[in-house]
Structures are given as structure tokens and as C-alpha cells.
Structure 1
């Protein structure tokens, strides 16, 4: 057995030798190095230095009921995260002679579950809620030693320091906070010596990992609420730094670094978590006294409390009137005079008269002033890329777009991350720059991010967290700095519940959400957009109808528009190409549009009865072939579809070029 493996697990066969070593140790003699594990030897030394009585028969007396209640209230987060695991232990440890114990960072037991006879036996040595099992209180034991060394340990029988607990075998590991790695508690499984099983340690580590995962999920939910609450405060002229409740830097706006320097201060704001203990908030929202940096003024600090619970803290460093600084195109603060001209409106391409849509644009304008990630949500065709371009705006740097849907896993990986020369068969000579690297200094727009394969999502998450990218086939990281805008038509929360999307990636990309309303929800926009596209394509083609009749507009208003603005745009472009009269009337509309209009209404355009969407598509293709005189390349161009798609649709409907 390798030395580290021997040090990791107890060996019951060494029981008598370990007991002899214990007697020798207490008498000041030598311990046999080939029998006593280094882990145990070091723990005995710490126990002796702490003046623990080796003849103790049990752990210290537990806390009084009232004190234990207050302790559990302070540790509610850990107890809630561990509740399903402890409840499961109640079942799977039954009749095993073992129990599971959850302890805090002082090794005070908060809860026990498991085999009832084992729980009763454990109470005889005070291995029970309210009792503290640190090395300083009980000597070598799995709970206290795991906390002392910060890793999984197994302590069996004679390896315990105190005589009264040498009949027990225990396995324990620490649990760490998912964001900063700080130890938050200890999980232990204990039983009488005859219950020893080497696999118990693996059981404990697995159970602890489940608790850590639940802690991570709860923390990401809190972080999402924190960012949502603070989003509006990160814009503006002051330097703003957002901390979570543990004092970790969550986000800093583009003015923060210069504002802090102007205040003669210093703070690490690089990408990734940076803990500043002075900004950790207590349960009542109070900051730790005496730990704030000396340059921070109390009036600059604003606790963020939601529903009576502290979520974090804002540090707002006022802009110095003499500095006159603003944000440059790359997001860094530079000394400058106010700009004299106004840049072109980046949202000018979005045409609307709807109040809800205008409110969405107003929120997007606010987001455009920050660099935080944005998740755009909306049905296919609502204009998510137009919003992404508007959010990118005039800040400079490239705007790089990639649709994550419809690509194989291998192609998507190479498109995103790029690849080195010779990375795989058929790789381009000299390699290829991926979309992430190409977006350095600008904005990366990932459309349909919900279609990204699950096993690729951790790679994107690492790029977002670390600001580094590895091309396929390379081992050298490349630094990247970009603003992410993602989009999806899916419900990612449902995908998370179904195991199709990672929760940690969701909360990283959805710092704030922007829902874009469907076209059928936008009052009056069908007519406005139809006229807009008609004029646009008439100018482009130099021909086409000049207007759409009121009856035809009424039909368009009644249609549900499953393809949204994209579908309306394509329809109008087809009408401009195919309509040879000065006005678009009901007769020019495909049958699926006529079918939505009630034949009994005045001006009905549906004398022939309802027809299916497929029939309408077939009719549109037939008319496009006729207008192109059988030239299928020109037909595909007019319909704005690939030639291969046109062939597939013609085969489906039994059409040929002779249908002209």
C-alpha cells in the first residue's frame, strides 16, 4: 500500500500495536513509525499540547436546550442544505449500527440521524447535538481531526486520544463553501468498533458533496437576487463595487478602479472572487467593526437587505468633481472632458409603437451602460440579435454572434474556442481563432444558448469565471475580456430541473434577464412593421406595391405570428417580389393568413375556406418559382432559404421547376 493510502485509512489489524503506541506515547516513549499513521501521531501531539485528559470517558457536556436552539438558528443555512441528506441517513443507516452527525466549524454537533440504538449509545459519550468534539476538547477524533487538517479522515478505535471513546470508529470530512472554499462544517459517520468499514469514508465524502451542492444552489440563487437588486445601481457616474454577504467582490462597474484610486484607496477588482472581510454582513446587516479599509467612509456603504435578510453590500465611491472622468470604449475609466456629440441610437433598428416594447428598450438602454452579462428571452424571431446589437451599442470593439443551435458538438466547440494548427484531421493550417477570442474587447452574442451540449457548458463557465480560453489542441491559456449577451427561447429553469442545463452557468449568464415580447403581444406593431418593411424592400428592389389595404392589414393583425417579426419581414419581402399591383390586398396573402379571418366579417378575404400552413407555404413556393421562371437559384434567393431547403420543400409538396 502506498504511504498516502495507508495514512488515509485506518487498519483494524493494527489495533493492538496502536494501543501499545498510545501507552508508550503517554509515557514519553517512542512510537513505532511503521504502525502509527502520521495523521494520528500529529493529532496526538496536538491533543497533548492542548492538555486534553487522555483518561476522559466522554466528550464535554452538551449545550443547554436554549443555547442549542440559538446555535441552530445561526446555522440555519447549513441545516437547511443538509436536511435531505440527513433525512436520507435516517433510512440508509438504519440497522447498520452507525449514525451521521453534522457539526459546525467549532465542531459543535448540530444534528444526528441514523440507527436509533447507535444514537442511544452515542449519547453515553456525549456524541450528540450540542456537544463540542474539537481536538482541543476531546483529543483525536474524526470530527475534530478532520477540521484540524481540512480533509477527510478515518479514526478507528485505539487511534482516538481519549480512553473512553476508543470503542468507536469514525469517518469525517469538512464541507467547504462553494464560492470561496471556506470550511462551513463537518460531516461524520460513527459507530462502535465492530461497524468499521473502509467504505464509510467514501459515504461521508459523497454525502458532504451533496450538501455542498445544495449550498451552491442556494448561494447562486441569493447571488442572482443580489445582482437583480443592485443592477440599477451599477450604472451612473460613481464608482460602485458590489459585495456578497460574505464579503466577496461580485461586480464592479467601469468607474470603480479610478474612483478608488481617487480616494487614495486600493482594492483588488480583477475578474474572479476577491474576499474583503470588512464587507461581510452579519444576520442583521451589520458590518464587522474595525475590519473596513481605512480609506472607506461609512457613508459610502449601503447594506442590501431583502425581506429582512442581508444579501450583500454596495460600496459607492463618489466621483471626484475635479477628475472629470468617464468610461472609454473598452470599459476602463480615463480622464476626459464631456463628449460634445451624441452617438447614433443603437436601438434605432427596433421599430415599435407598443408601450411594453418601449419599456423593454428602455431597460436595454440602461443595461447597455454596464458590462454585466445579459440573458435575452423570447420566442424565435422576436429580434433578440437586434437587442444584443443595441446593448453592444457604440462602446467599441467587435460584435461577434454565434448560434449554438443546429451545430454538432465538435463544430460548436471549434467555433467557440478555436483550435491550434494540426489539432485534428482537416484542421485549417495555422489554426483558427474562435468566436470567444474574436470578441475580445467587445461583445459576444450567443444565440440559443440553451442548445449548448451539457458537457460543453463547464468550459464556457470557466472562460466566464477565469477570463482565459484554451484553443482546442493548445495548453497555453489566452486572456480574453468581453461582454456576454446570451439569448434563448427555452425556459432554462425547467432545463436546469431536467438536468439539461447547469445552474451555475445559468446564474453566470443571467445576471439580469430581458424578456422580449412576442409580436402578437405588441399592440399596433403589426401594421407599423408591415408598412416599414414594405417601404424598405420597395427601396431595395426599386419596385413593388406602394401600400397594404386596410382589409389585408386587418387579416395580418388577426394572425398569431408564430415566427414573430422575422415571419412578418419574410412575408412582406415575398409580397414585394411577387405582387405586381400597386396595393397588397387579401388576395395576395397566403391562404394561412386568409384562414384566420372570419368569413362573416365585412371585408372577409377568405371565400374559399380555411387552408393549412403547409398549403400556404406550397402556394408561396409555387408563385416564387413562377416569378423566377423556373430558376431555382433565384427562387431560393427570393424566398431567403437555402437551395437545399428549397429542394426538400419541393420534394415534400411534389413541385418541380416546370410549375412555373
Structure 2
């Protein structure tokens, strides 16, 4: 109902007799009196009379049987799921309030009811048929909060004699509509009802708040469904240079395409003047055969996972003219710099190669030093955006204020020290190309919704300005953190995580692909020769074997630095195990047998020996690892007769330890 103000939605108790007199005048054909009856109620009465609603009704129609109700709940499963937590709160907190909370679908059919279970109210609820499976639309039960809210799309209270049907005039109710958070379509209503003596003005505010809560849950469910849909359909998407691809969600709404949707529609022969793709699916969120004639059935492929319909993929061939305008494909050798032969690494490379031609966000997961930026560069180089900017932002190397200005830019005078004339941010700089957000797990929590808004809307505002700028970029993010754990700890937004993790790629640490070490060493040797003008120098086979057995906590970056250091400092043409630092060269420990040790003592001796070995003979590090005082470790080394076997050079360097 257009023009309604919030105040118009509230009933005015205390004038029930005057409203009843006005209702009697209305029913006799004399019209209602003056301004006593609110416009919303008066208009509803007129609709009820036009629909021939029986004013003598004292209850809704008999509720549907359990089988039909279950089928309806299956059909409205997303609404019921989104409302579950809100209805559970009503069950826990509305006891002995004289009211119940009612969830209905768009047709006014009650899906669930929770609240006061006292005998008096329960009897009234059952007598009036305010029960799951009953219908409370305005066209059937006359003016009531549920039906009138659904009819007008507005929140409303209907109190006592404002009801059109005489037998329901002892009730008071407050209802708000629940809208689809994607397109705003009405999906149902939430209602607070009780006998008229329970009237409370704030009941309408509670209904509005509950509707907003349910809509927020619906939005999250829709996001989750779309992310699952993208995850399932990503691998069936063809290259964009020969096909148009459009993704439709489970309600049949087009939400993603590999080009401008208006251009795709024109290319496929849509009628002139049609501005948006038609909706393919029905309200029950099942695949639908309904489609316009210019969309062929063979182009459509529903995506179903574990019995749930997630959406539909449309893949249509491009016309010859469209193919001539398509952007060039990326470099087929884009991942050549990733040296590998292990199966784990090959799987990560192949995943990135397959998604590179799409616009899907990629989340690179791995420890520090595994080469996440090299993977990001490979995805960019293999994408249709390969000739556009590749912009890198490290989210963990700047303060919150500096990072905000670096990402989003700012206008003149936005803050003290701002450059005259302002500056564009890295997001704008990446428009048309790829934005690589390294260490995304370090992004401050208050900046995360700002980034999410950019990703969802494709729009950005610089700090200090109100104008909106369009941006179009491919996002690649990387982190060495466990983002799921960060989400659980509420240090990272769940919605942003799902937006980033469309394609998660785990890059294995070097210790899990030791077979790659010799090839990596050869690669770094060649690089060092060219960079520093060095002569031929090679690693002995036993040296490579030792490197392959090392844990490499710093991963490929640590290996590269070590190779460069050895190339620059070793004297001979061949780098042998004696050239390796102690932290890489395995240390031999001598543990003299000590008769009479108990099982616990023998276990302690072995633990200390292993820890000392892994610490390179450093007692301070060993003590820290074991959580013991250094003096205690010295005492136990003497007690168990543990001594490192080091060369004379090594012994001189560790004289302070032993």
C-alpha cells in the first residue's frame, strides 16, 4: 500500500466500540465513519466485500492433512529453514505472554507456530484454526494481520473489531512480510497473535525484527547455495571465446555471465526492448521447462547435488561476429615457472590452469614460502586478462589506515597528509585485470565488509567521497592461515570467506614434495649463475639427498636462499655435504647406553636426543622446545650421556653449549 507511514501500521486500542459501530455501518452499506477507521483497514474491508468474504466466519478453513503439509514444507524448505532459529526463540521466550508467533508462506498458509502453550490460548488457537496447514489469506479469512500484510506488502497491526470477520474480532495480531533478499519478492509473513486483551504496541516491532532476521538468514542461505553451485559447475564451463555462459540460481534468476548480459541476449536473438533474462525456475525452486523460444532446451543444464537443485547453467554458442570480438586467450606456458614433478603439486597447477580462463575468484592456501604469488601470476598470465594489470597488495604489511587508503584510494582532504587531488586505490588500478590480495587473513575485520561490498556490487567509493565508481577485476587471494578457524573465532567474516573460497587451491609445503628438490636446486643454480655471473658449479648427489630429507620450514623460498648462498660462498666446483650449514646437515648424536634406566627414563632420553638433533645441537633451542630450563637440559644431557658428534670446526662454534 503506497504512501503508508510507520505510524499508519499501528492499531489504536480503546476505540474498539467506535470501530465496531463503524464496521456495522459499513456492513449495512452506509460506509464507515469518518477518520475513526484507519485507511489501511477501510481499504481491506472494501477488498473483502468485493471478494465476498463471509463476515460471519469464526475460524480459518480446516488445516490440510499431514501429508499435504509435509509436501508444502518441502516446497517452502528454504523459508522454513531460514525461520527455524527465530521460531525456536519464540518457543523459548514467548511462554506465558498470551501470544504466539506464526510463520506463513506467500499464500498465508501457516508453516509453523510457536509461543504460549497455556490451556486458554491453546484452546482459542485450535478453535480458530490458527494452526499449521491452515490458510489466513485476506481473501479467505477477511481483514487480519497475516492476510492484509501479504496483500499490501506492508507491516500492520489488526486489533479486535478491525477484523472483517465477526468471529475473529476477539483477536489482536501484528504481522510483517518476509521478502526475498535477492529480488524483493514477498515469500511469506511473520505474525504475533493473541487474544485482544494481550494487545501490545511493541508486538509489531517484534514482528518486523523477526522478519528482518529471517531475511538475513535467507540471504546467507542464498549465498551458500550460489557458492555450492559455482563449485559444482565450475568445471563444466567452456572457454569464453566460443560460448556464451549464463548462470541461473535455484529460483531461475540470471546472476552471472561471461559477458554483458544485454549483449548476450542480443546475440541469442532476444526480442528488442527486453532488458533482462527471463526467470527460468518456479517459486518451488525446482528445474522448470518454462523458457522463451530464443533460449534452446539443449543449452540448459540443471546442476543437482545430493538431491538439491542448485541452479541451471546455460551454455550457448557464440555467433561468428561475437567470436571475432572475443578477447585473446592467455599464455599456455603461464605455469612453466612452477618447477614440479610431484602429484600434489601437479594437482594444484592443473586446478589453477583450468580455472584461469574463467573469472572465478581463487583462494591460494599454503605455508609461507610455498610460492603463492607465482601461482597467482600464472593464473593471471593464463587468463583472458593477461594483457591487463596484475596488481599486488599485501594485507599484512601496513596499518589499518594505510591499507584502507591503498586499497580504496582517497579524495583530496580525506585525512591529514592526503595527497592533493587524492589518489586512486589498488582496486581501481586493477580494474580490467587481476587483483592479488596476499595475506588476506591479516585484513582488518572492519575493512572486510568494505571489500565484500566491492566484490558483490562491482562498485567502489574512494575514502571521503560519495560518488560510485565501477570496477571489474579478477580476484586472487592468498593466506597461510586456516581461514575456517578464523571464521569460527570471529576474526574473519563468514560471508567474505565464502566469496573468496569459490576455488580453494592448497599448495603443498616442500617437505611433502621432496622429489621436487633436485629440479628446484637445478633451477636456482641456473638463476644464480645468470644473476651473479658465476661459473659452472653443481651440487653433489649426496648433497641433494640431504636437501631432499630436510624439513624446509621456509619452503621453496628458504631453499632458493640457501642455494644462492652456497653458490656465492663455496670454494669448489662441487658443493658437498660439508658445505651445508649445521641446520641442514644432519647431526649425529652419541647416546651411551645407561644400564638400569626405567622405561620412562629411556623415553625421556630418546626425546631429548631427538629434540637436540632437530635443533642442530643448540641447547637453548632444545630447552625452549621441551619447555625446560637450560640448566635442567644440561643436567639431563650429562645424566643420559648424550653428546653430539661434531667436526672440530663445529665444536669450536659450539663450545659455549657443551
- With over 3 angstroms needed to count, the CA separation of the structure-2 counterparts of 1:544 and 1:598, relative to structure 1, is farther
- With over 3 angstroms needed to count, the CA separation of the structure-2 counterparts of 1:322 and 1:454, relative to structure 1, is closer
User: How far, CA to CA, are the matches of 1:91 and 1:594 in structure 2?
Assistant: 65
Q: What is the CA distance between 1:529 and its match in structure 2?
A: 1.4
The answer on whether the counterparts of 2:612 and 2:618 sit within 8 Å (CA) in structure 1 is no
- With over 3 angstroms needed to count, the CA separation of the structure-2 counterparts of 1:588 and 1:31, relative to structure 1, is farther
Q: What is the CA distance between 1:310 and its match in structure 2?
A: 1.8
Instruction: Report the secondary structure of 2:477's partner residue.
Output: strand
The answer on whether the counterparts of 1:599 and 1:607 sit within 8 Å (CA) in structure 2 is no
Instruction: Report the secondary structure of 1:353's partner residue.
Output: coil
More moved, 29-38 vs 59-68: 29-38
Q: What is the CA distance between 1:89 and its match in structure 2?
A: 1.7
Q: What is the CA distance between 1:353 and its match in structure 2?
A: 1.7
Equivalent in the alignment of 1:311: 310
Equivalent in the alignment of 1:650: none
How do residues 227-238 of structure 1 correspond to structure 2 at under 5 angstroms?
Answer: 227-236=230-239, 237-238=242-243
Q: Does 1:155 align with 2:158?
A: yes
Q: Does 1:294 align with 2:296?
A: no
More moved, 95-104 vs 567-576: 567-576
Q: What is the CA distance between 1:450 and its match in structure 2?
A: 2.3
Q: What is the CA distance between 1:127 and its match in structure 2?
A: 0.9
User: How far, CA to CA, are the matches of 2:296 and 2:253 in structure 1?
Assistant: 19
User: How far, CA to CA, are the matches of 1:116 and 1:356 in structure 2?
Assistant: 59
- With over 3 angstroms needed to count, the CA separation of the structure-2 counterparts of 1:324 and 1:183, relative to structure 1, is closer
- With over 3 angstroms needed to count, the CA separation of the structure-2 counterparts of 1:388 and 1:596, relative to structure 1, is farther
- With over 3 angstroms needed to count, the CA separation of the structure-2 counterparts of 1:267 and 1:540, relative to structure 1, is farther
The answer on whether the counterparts of 1:64 and 1:130 sit within 8 Å (CA) in structure 2 is yes
Equivalent in the alignment of 1:420: 411
User: How far, CA to CA, are the matches of 1:276 and 1:548 in structure 2?
Assistant: 65
User: How far, CA to CA, are the matches of 2:279 and 2:480 in structure 1?
Assistant: 40
How do residues 152-551 of structure 1 correspond to structure 2 at under 5 angstroms?
Answer: 152-236=155-239, 237-254=242-259, 260-265=265-270, 276-280=278-282, 285-288=287-290, 292-320=291-319, 325=324, 327-328=326-327, 343=331, 345-393=333-381, 395-543=386-534, 546-551=537-542
User: How far, CA to CA, are the matches of 2:262 and 2:280 in structure 1?
Assistant: 18
- With over 3 angstroms needed to count, the CA separation of the structure-2 counterparts of 1:385 and 1:424, relative to structure 1, is same
Instruction: Report the secondary structure of 1:610's partner residue.
Output: helix
The answer on whether the counterparts of 1:155 and 1:171 sit within 8 Å (CA) in structure 2 is yes
User: How far, CA to CA, are the matches of 1:599 and 1:28 in structure 2?
Assistant: 109
How do residues 34-53 of structure 1 correspond to structure 2 at under 5 angstroms?
Answer: 34-53=35-54
Q: What is the CA distance between 1:536 and its match in structure 2?
A: 1.2
User: How far, CA to CA, are the matches of 2:458 and 2:424 in structure 1?
Assistant: 16
- With over 3 angstroms needed to count, the CA separation of the structure-2 counterparts of 1:300 and 1:171, relative to structure 1, is same
User: How far, CA to CA, are the matches of 1:608 and 1:409 in structure 2?
Assistant: 40
Q: Summarize deviations over 1:399-431 as a string: whole Å, max 9, x none.
A: 001011243221121111100111111101111
More moved, 18-27 vs 159-168: 18-27
User: How far, CA to CA, are the matches of 1:476 and 1:579 in structure 2?
Assistant: 60
User: How far, CA to CA, are the matches of 1:608 and 1:151 in structure 2?
Assistant: 70
User: How far, CA to CA, are the matches of 2:113 and 2:610 in structure 1?
Assistant: 76
Q: What is the CA distance between 1:348 and its match in structure 2?
A: 2.0
Q: What is the CA distance between 1:518 and its match in structure 2?
A: 1.6
Q: What is the CA distance between 1:615 and its match in structure 2?
A: 6.5
Q: Summarize deviations over 1:235-255 as a string: whole Å, max 9, x none.
A: 323222121121122322259
Instruction: Report the secondary structure of 2:14's partner residue.
Output: helix
Unmatched 5+ stretches in structure 1: 332-341, 601-605, 619-660
Instruction: Report the secondary structure of 1:172's partner residue.
Output: strand
The answer on whether the counterparts of 2:145 and 2:158 sit within 8 Å (CA) in structure 1 is yes
User: How far, CA to CA, are the matches of 2:501 and 2:524 in structure 1?
Assistant: 32
User: How far, CA to CA, are the matches of 1:320 and 1:3 in structure 2?
Assistant: 50
- With over 3 angstroms needed to count, the CA separation of the structure-2 counterparts of 1:268 and 1:238, relative to structure 1, is farther
Unmatched 5+ stretches in structure 2: 592-608, 622-658
Instruction: Report the secondary structure of 1:116's partner residue.
Output: coil
The answer on whether the counterparts of 1:354 and 1:524 sit within 8 Å (CA) in structure 2 is yes
Aligned length: 595
- With over 3 angstroms needed to count, the CA separation of the structure-2 counterparts of 1:323 and 1:150, relative to structure 1, is closer
Q: What is the CA distance between 1:464 and its match in structure 2?
A: 1.8
The answer on whether the counterparts of 2:253 and 2:278 sit within 8 Å (CA) in structure 1 is yes
User: How far, CA to CA, are the matches of 2:315 and 2:15 in structure 1?
Assistant: 62
Q: What is the CA distance between 1:275 and its match in structure 2?
A: 5.9
User: How far, CA to CA, are the matches of 1:179 and 1:44 in structure 2?
Assistant: 32
Q: What is the CA distance between 1:472 and its match in structure 2?
A: 0.7
Q: Summarize deviations over 1:194-229 as a string: whole Å, max 9, x none.
A: 222222223223333333333333322221221112
- With over 3 angstroms needed to count, the CA separation of the structure-2 counterparts of 1:4 and 1:558, relative to structure 1, is same
Instruction: Report the secondary structure of 2:216's partner residue.
Output: helix
TM-score (norm 1): 0.82
- With over 3 angstroms needed to count, the CA separation of the structure-2 counterparts of 1:481 and 1:255, relative to structure 1, is closer
Q: What is the CA distance between 1:390 and its match in structure 2?
A: 0.9
- With over 3 angstroms needed to count, the CA separation of the structure-2 counterparts of 1:283 and 1:244, relative to structure 1, is closer
Q: What is the CA distance between 1:437 and its match in structure 2?
A: 0.3
- With over 3 angstroms needed to count, the CA separation of the structure-2 counterparts of 1:208 and 1:617, relative to structure 1, is farther
User: How far, CA to CA, are the matches of 1:54 and 1:39 in structure 2?
Assistant: 18
More moved, 275-284 vs 493-502: 275-284
The answer on whether the counterparts of 1:533 and 1:573 sit within 8 Å (CA) in structure 2 is yes
Q: What is the CA distance between 1:356 and its match in structure 2?
A: 2.2
The answer on whether the counterparts of 2:251 and 2:286 sit within 8 Å (CA) in structure 1 is no
Instruction: Report the secondary structure of 2:492's partner residue.
Output: coil
User: How far, CA to CA, are the matches of 2:311 and 2:34 in structure 1?
Assistant: 50
